[in-house]
């Protein structure tokens, strides 16, 4: 899905919500465990319940990989099931170079046919270029995350006065453009979000950390929205595990709708 | 495998060679393509041919993931097939936090039963701690890599005068110890290797980039060896694809033996 189509979907639905499919077998409602593929059954119900309220789905690879080859089957079925009008993100945070990076790009863009993949920038441009070579696909680069140890390296002050995440934004925004690069930006720091918006005014930002991780949707919208919306705000656990009972899908729908209602008011 | 066992194997075999299983279906000899699982057949032959000459195997996850669920079956069979006395490394370069990091740790340390996994440090301590929680397992953290764009961020000068990779070494060596942390250090920069050895005198270093990527084994040994050897030097393509014909395993053995012979002379 390209930028224009994504913006069109956001405006049509009045939502910039991304639902994170961090499907943890230990947290799936008990009545689903008897199913042939409980992870897919859970995802299917969540997608059916939330598709009217979101514009994107973001499976978190770790949870599928932990289940071995069967988990990757659940992932493949999930991707196939996501409606055509939704943007798909592999939350994989890969970062490698050369033919290894090309193989990861092939994994997410061809084998599983995602629209986008999250990437770690530590190894530099060599670790992103092979993904940008895929026409019509997106690289979503980690910039500033919302975990406490973002202080360890991401916020380190460089000799040129910038913090590392600012340098990552400045350099990496030159490797591609706002039609094939987005950035991961944590929601817990409004001042930083403001700074980031100045550095990359046109890029989409993928913002996790609203809800469970403590970020405010209003603040994110205030500092993050641009003329083309430019935001995908993710919620995972708050939606997936809103209820652990047989009503989990209804509860997930209610949570997604709550965020959708807030977003509708925030979209200019 | 713990540190003492690894050192014992290195001394017993007279080798600190790691064979990288970057098994690319496009480069597998043609006569294997008819097999039920060509990737596993290839790996099995490579392992049989090289096990006397190396102490570790390092499957590169990207190549298995690109093949979908079937690729993960090939990976599982490969891990099962690697002899007990060899150290196993998942070259995965993961980097995420919280329950996602725990799921990745479970993936590599339990689902696939590797001894070690490579990790990217961008998100800080939160992205490594969940791996260190697994007793008897290893985190191998990216420090300085040998690709040209290591200049982009890894070598950036910080306001405290250090380069980023030095800060990564200084901080992360405090998160665990030399019995559960190793570092990835590229082989193409002898001066940097010398600097790194001063910062982490006791840690094992995993060194790719010898051979195909241009590093010299003598230089790596000169600056990298410590009292407990402290080195694993990786070769992937130079061994795997030494021949593209039916003699590929013999050719791989010859290449591994060549490195083994050099290493035997370098071990004090």
Q: What is the ipTM of this complex?
A: 0.96
Strands B56-59 and B17-21, sheet pairing: parallel
**CATH number of the structural domain spanning residue A92:** 3.20.20.70
Chain A interface mutation, best of B93, B160, B169, highest count of A Cβ atoms under 10 Å: B93
| For range A180-206, the mean pLDDT | 93
Q: Across the interface, do A149 and B69 touch by the CB < 8 Å criterion?
A: no
| A168–chain B Cβ distance below 8 A for any pair | yes
Domain assignment of residue A86, given as a range: 3-266
Write the residue in B100, B120, B127 that is nearest to A60 by C-beta. B100
Q: Give the list of residues 6+ apart from residue A172 with CB closer than 8 angstroms, or none.
A: A121, A125, A128, A141, A181
Give the number of C-alpha atoms closer than 13 A to the C-alpha of residue B92, restricted to the C-beta side: 29
Cα B186 from Cα B192, distance rounded (Å): 9
Q: Give the list of residues 6+ apart from residue A210 with CB closer than 8 angstroms, or none.
A: A187, A216, A217, A220, A233, A234, A235, A259
Cα B201 from Cα B178, distance rounded (Å): 9
Q: What is the pLDDT of residue B213?
A: 57
| pLDDT tens-digit series, residues A14-63 | 999 999 999 999 999 999 999 999 999 999 999 999 999 999 999 999 99
Q: Across the interface, do B72 and A72 touch by the CB < 8 Å criterion?
A: yes
Q: What is the pLDDT of residue B80?
A: 98
| pLDDT tens-digit series, residues B122-163 | 999 999 999 999 999 999 999 999 899 999 999 999 999 999
DSSP string, A143-158: EE--SGGGGTTTTPBB
| pLDDT tens-digit series, residues B87-132 | 999 999 999 999 999 999 999 999 999 999 999 999 999 999 999 9
Write the residue in B22, B62, B122 that is nearest to A122 by C-beta. B122
Count of domains observed in chain B = 1
Is the pLDDT at A9 greater than 60, yes or no? yes
Is the pLDDT at B212 greater than 70, yes or no? no
Chain A interface mutation, best of B64, B71, B91, B103, highest count of A Cβ atoms under 10 Å: B103
Q: Across the interface, do A123 and B145 touch by the CB < 8 Å criterion?
A: yes
Cα A162 from Cα A220, distance rounded (Å): 22
Is the pLDDT at A244 greater than 90, yes or no? yes
| B133–chain A Cβ distance below 8 A for any pair | no
Q: Across the interface, do B120 and A95 touch by the CB < 8 Å criterion?
A: yes
Minimal Cα distance from A160: which residue of B? B159
Q: Which residues of B touch A100 (CB under 8 A)?
A: 22, 60, 62-63, 91
């Amino acid at each position: 899905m390209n930028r224009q189509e994504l913006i069109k979907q956001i405006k049509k639905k009045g939502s910039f919500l991304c639902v994170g499919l961090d499907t943890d077998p230990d947290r799936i409602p008990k009545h689903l465990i008897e199913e042939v593929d409980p992870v897919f059954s859970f995802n299917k119900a969540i997608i059916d319940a939330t598709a009217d309220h979101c514009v994107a789905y973001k499976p978190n690879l770790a949870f599928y990989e932990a289940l071995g080859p069967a988990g990757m089957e659940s992932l493949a079925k999930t991707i196939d099931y996501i409606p055509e009008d939704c943007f798909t993100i592999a939350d994989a945070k890969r970062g490698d170079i050369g033919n290894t990076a090309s193989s990861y790009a092939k994994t997410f863009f061809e084998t599983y046919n995602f629209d986008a993949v999250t990437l770690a920038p530590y190894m530099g441009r060599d670790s992103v270029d092979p993904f940008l070579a895929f026409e019509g696909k997106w690289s979503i680069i980690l910039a500033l995350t919302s975990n406490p140890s973002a202080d360890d390296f991401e916020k380190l002050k460089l000799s040129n006065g910038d913090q590392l995440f600012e340098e990552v934004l400045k350099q990496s925004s030159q490797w591609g453009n706002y039609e094939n690069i987005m950035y991961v930006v944590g929601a817990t720091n409004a001042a930083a979000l403001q700074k980031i918006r100045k550095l990359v005014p046109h890029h989409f930002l993928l913002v996790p950390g609203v809800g469970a991780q403590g970020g405010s949707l209003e603040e994110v919208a205030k500092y993050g929205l641009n003329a083309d919306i430019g935001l995908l705000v993710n919620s995972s656990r708050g939606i997936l595990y809103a209820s652990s009972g047989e009503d989990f899908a209804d509860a997930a729908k209610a949570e997604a709708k709550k965020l959708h209602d807030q977003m509708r008011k925030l979209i200019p």
